[in-house]
Amino acid sequence: MISSLVQIAVLVGIVFCLGRWWMNIRRRNAQTWETLLARLRPDWSARELSDRFLWQEGLSATPEDAWQRMQGPKGLWVMYQNARVMQEMADYAAKCCQGVDRVLIETLHSDAMQIRLCVLTALAQYGFTKASEGVRVNAFRAASIYIGMAARMTQFLQDYAAARVPDFVAAM
Protein backbone atom coordinates (compact mmCIF):
# COMPACT_ATOMS: atom_id res chain seq x y z
CA MET A 1 0.00 0.00 0.00
CA ILE A 2 2.72 2.48 0.98
CA SER A 3 4.75 1.40 -2.04
CA SER A 4 1.94 2.29 -4.45
CA LEU A 5 1.43 5.67 -2.71
CA VAL A 6 5.10 6.43 -3.15
CA GLN A 7 4.91 5.43 -6.81
CA ILE A 8 1.89 7.67 -7.35
CA ALA A 9 3.60 10.57 -5.58
CA VAL A 10 6.72 10.14 -7.73
CA LEU A 11 4.62 9.94 -10.89
CA VAL A 12 2.68 13.10 -9.95
CA GLY A 13 5.99 14.87 -9.23
CA ILE A 14 7.41 13.86 -12.60
CA VAL A 15 4.26 14.94 -14.44
CA PHE A 16 4.31 18.27 -12.59
CA CYS A 17 7.98 18.89 -13.49
CA LEU A 18 7.41 17.98 -17.13
CA GLY A 19 4.36 20.25 -17.26
CA ARG A 20 6.33 23.19 -15.86
CA TRP A 21 9.18 22.50 -18.27
CA TRP A 22 6.77 22.42 -21.22
CA MET A 23 5.04 25.64 -20.10
CA ASN A 24 8.41 27.41 -19.72
CA ILE A 25 9.39 26.40 -23.24
CA ARG A 26 6.09 27.69 -24.61
CA ARG A 27 6.48 30.95 -22.67
CA ARG A 28 10.03 31.44 -23.95
CA ASN A 29 9.00 30.78 -27.55
CA ALA A 30 6.11 33.24 -27.33
CA GLN A 31 8.19 36.12 -25.96
CA THR A 32 8.73 39.35 -27.82
CA TRP A 33 11.54 41.85 -27.40
CA GLU A 34 9.19 44.15 -25.50
CA THR A 35 8.20 41.45 -22.99
CA LEU A 36 11.85 40.65 -22.40
CA LEU A 37 12.71 44.31 -21.80
CA ALA A 38 9.77 44.59 -19.43
CA ARG A 39 11.17 41.72 -17.36
CA LEU A 40 14.48 43.52 -16.70
CA ARG A 41 14.50 44.84 -13.15
CA PRO A 42 15.16 48.59 -13.22
CA ASP A 43 14.97 49.06 -9.41
CA TRP A 44 18.77 48.70 -9.16
CA SER A 45 21.37 49.39 -11.81
CA ALA A 46 24.97 48.28 -12.03
CA ARG A 47 25.80 51.75 -13.37
CA GLU A 48 26.84 52.57 -9.82
CA LEU A 49 29.56 49.91 -9.97
CA SER A 50 31.26 50.94 -13.20
CA ASP A 51 31.88 54.16 -15.06
CA ARG A 52 31.82 52.21 -18.33
CA PHE A 53 28.72 50.10 -17.65
CA LEU A 54 27.31 48.49 -20.83
CA TRP A 55 30.31 49.57 -22.91
CA GLN A 56 33.33 47.92 -21.32
CA GLU A 57 34.16 45.28 -18.76
CA GLY A 58 35.59 46.13 -15.38
CA LEU A 59 34.42 47.49 -12.06
CA SER A 60 35.45 50.81 -10.57
CA ALA A 61 34.77 49.74 -6.98
CA THR A 62 36.37 47.60 -4.30
CA PRO A 63 34.46 44.61 -2.89
CA GLU A 64 33.39 46.67 0.13
CA ASP A 65 32.27 49.61 -2.04
CA ALA A 66 30.49 47.27 -4.44
CA TRP A 67 28.58 45.67 -1.57
CA GLN A 68 27.41 49.07 -0.36
CA ARG A 69 26.56 50.34 -3.85
CA MET A 70 24.60 47.23 -4.77
CA GLN A 71 22.56 47.63 -1.59
CA GLY A 72 23.56 44.18 -0.37
CA PRO A 73 21.21 41.33 -1.17
CA LYS A 74 18.84 43.58 -3.14
CA GLY A 75 21.39 44.18 -5.90
CA LEU A 76 22.42 40.53 -5.86
CA TRP A 77 18.84 39.43 -6.46
CA VAL A 78 18.40 41.94 -9.31
CA MET A 79 21.58 40.60 -10.95
CA TYR A 80 20.28 37.05 -10.53
CA GLN A 81 17.02 37.86 -12.30
CA ASN A 82 18.49 40.11 -14.99
CA ALA A 83 21.13 37.52 -15.90
CA ARG A 84 18.36 35.10 -16.86
CA VAL A 85 16.56 37.77 -18.89
CA MET A 86 19.76 38.76 -20.74
CA GLN A 87 20.33 35.08 -21.53
CA GLU A 88 16.82 34.89 -22.99
CA MET A 89 17.46 38.13 -24.93
CA ALA A 90 20.53 36.57 -26.52
CA ASP A 91 18.49 33.50 -27.46
CA TYR A 92 15.77 35.72 -28.92
CA ALA A 93 18.25 37.75 -30.97
CA ALA A 94 19.98 34.57 -32.16
CA LYS A 95 16.64 33.17 -33.25
CA CYS A 96 15.70 36.34 -35.15
CA CYS A 97 19.06 37.24 -36.72
CA GLN A 98 21.12 35.44 -39.34
CA GLY A 99 24.80 34.59 -38.91
CA VAL A 100 24.94 34.99 -35.14
CA ASP A 101 28.23 34.13 -33.43
CA ARG A 102 27.41 30.91 -31.55
CA VAL A 103 30.50 31.25 -29.35
CA LEU A 104 29.23 34.60 -28.11
CA ILE A 105 25.81 33.10 -27.37
CA GLU A 106 27.45 30.30 -25.39
CA THR A 107 29.60 32.86 -23.55
CA LEU A 108 26.47 34.78 -22.56
CA HIS A 109 24.86 31.54 -21.35
CA SER A 110 27.98 30.73 -19.33
CA ASP A 111 28.05 34.24 -17.87
CA ALA A 112 24.41 33.95 -16.80
CA MET A 113 25.03 30.63 -15.07
CA GLN A 114 28.15 31.93 -13.31
CA ILE A 115 26.30 35.03 -12.12
CA ARG A 116 23.43 32.99 -10.80
CA LEU A 117 25.78 30.57 -9.02
CA CYS A 118 27.82 33.40 -7.45
CA VAL A 119 24.66 35.20 -6.34
CA LEU A 120 23.16 32.07 -4.77
CA THR A 121 26.45 31.37 -2.99
CA ALA A 122 26.66 34.96 -1.72
CA LEU A 123 23.02 34.95 -0.57
CA ALA A 124 23.49 31.63 1.24
CA GLN A 125 26.60 32.99 2.96
CA TYR A 126 24.76 36.20 3.78
CA GLY A 127 21.99 34.19 5.41
CA PHE A 128 24.51 32.63 7.78
CA THR A 129 27.14 35.31 8.32
CA LYS A 130 25.59 38.60 7.12
CA ALA A 131 28.10 40.81 5.26
CA SER A 132 31.30 38.86 5.90
CA GLU A 133 34.37 39.03 3.68
CA GLY A 134 33.30 35.90 1.76
CA VAL A 135 29.90 37.40 0.97
CA ARG A 136 31.46 40.61 -0.31
CA VAL A 137 33.97 38.71 -2.45
CA ASN A 138 31.26 36.53 -4.03
CA ALA A 139 29.08 39.60 -4.58
CA PHE A 140 32.02 41.41 -6.19
CA ARG A 141 32.69 38.40 -8.44
CA ALA A 142 29.01 38.26 -9.47
CA ALA A 143 29.00 42.00 -10.17
CA SER A 144 32.18 41.74 -12.23
CA ILE A 145 30.73 38.95 -14.37
CA TYR A 146 27.44 40.87 -14.62
CA ILE A 147 29.22 44.01 -15.90
CA GLY A 148 31.06 41.90 -18.46
CA MET A 149 27.88 40.14 -19.55
CA ALA A 150 26.04 43.45 -19.97
CA ALA A 151 28.92 44.82 -22.08
CA ARG A 152 28.99 41.66 -24.24
CA MET A 153 25.20 41.81 -24.61
CA THR A 154 25.39 45.45 -25.72
CA GLN A 155 28.10 44.59 -28.26
CA PHE A 156 26.10 41.58 -29.44
CA LEU A 157 23.04 43.76 -30.00
CA GLN A 158 25.11 46.41 -31.80
CA ASP A 159 26.45 43.73 -34.16
CA TYR A 160 23.24 41.81 -34.82
CA ALA A 161 20.25 43.95 -33.81
CA ALA A 162 21.37 47.57 -33.67
CA ALA A 163 17.80 48.86 -33.51
CA ARG A 164 17.38 47.09 -30.14
CA VAL A 165 20.36 48.77 -28.41
CA PRO A 166 18.61 51.99 -27.24
CA ASP A 167 15.79 50.02 -25.63
CA PHE A 168 18.27 47.71 -23.90
CA VAL A 169 20.43 50.58 -22.63
CA ALA A 170 17.37 52.42 -21.33
CA ALA A 171 16.09 49.32 -19.53
CA MET A 172 19.41 48.60 -17.86
- Under the banding of pLDDT at 50, 70 and 90, the label for residue 80 is very high
* CA angle, residues 113, 70, 159, in degrees to nearest 5: 50
Compare 47 and 134 and report the one with higher pLDDT: 134
Q: What is the mean pLDDT of the chain?
A: 84
Give the global pTM: 0.78
- Under the banding of pLDDT at 50, 70 and 90, the label for residue 172 is confident
> How far apart (Å, rounded) are the C-alpha atoms in residues 57 and 51?
10
> How far apart (Å, rounded) are the C-alpha atoms in residues 52 and 67?
18
